[in-house]
Structure 1
């Protein structure tokens, strides 16, 4: 009988034979997030603001905790409408501190409100959050030749995520350290950190290429060929 091929470190083989990143296994929530969302290019400002805020809330906690509370966060923060959250005041902070459906951490709640105001200033200065965040996309030559488990373990932060963190802090953002910024870059497709061999990696590469073409077309004013 032919023995199944050894699964590379960092991958898991599902019952149907599909290979997937190790972290997307074990919980239905993680598997769905891994298979349908993580790494897809995000260019909508409200969604980028949401992802940055949720990555900040995740600090010190598991992402599964945040993922399972995400709809509660969206309800509590007006769907992460940037202008709406920028208008929150002290009464909203107290309301949110009493909301058991979210993470009741005063510093993170206040940072989310502060960051909405900082996001508006970032948009005014740079045109959009998308343009600003994506300007920190690393060039291919600065990335590992192979994205495997060892490569990911060495990239909790990167020069680009550190630069993004520094730039955001200068613009008044809070809870945006280099690790949080790199998690944002992974989640929003600014980098593709699905491990080589994961069934999602080529999907994300195709989506990133399409986004690059769309960005080029938008800048040039004419369709790319």
Structure 2
């Protein structure tokens, strides 16, 4: 059994989607980010960085994993799913996973902050992060013109990591007009039953996607 500490944000959804895709049983511990529950001592004992998500693997001596990319790698290795064994194919998946961790997440997160929530509108900052988000999406569109998924012809943890961020592009003010391959990929993943279920974790409330994105903007977005 996996104990999942999460919230309804793109980073949290990466892991709930992965758990659903991999068929692993898990318990959900929903943290209220607006109440700073992620900064409480009990949670800091699990993740000293004080951010979601984190997991505890009860079947592996209560082993703790934090950082969403590290969790995805751990779960893929645990199950033998969505991460190839071949060294070159495996490297391609990890490269695109790092593309999300170092690029898409941080840029989209900063776009959220400056476009939606920063008390002063700073056009140069808004333009900088939206333009970089668009540039990264163009990179993805080019890759998806050649392959069904980010790392090749198979759906992997790289897709699970990236899709929750790309799907909220409108909220971040990043236009994807003309990126038809990217749109095809967004729509295809949106129809996957495990992705649909993963977006419902934590359980649905009256919180909108916009509010979830607002909560996300308070976090380090990786």
Q: Normalization by structure 2: what TM-score? A: 0.31
Higher strand share: 2
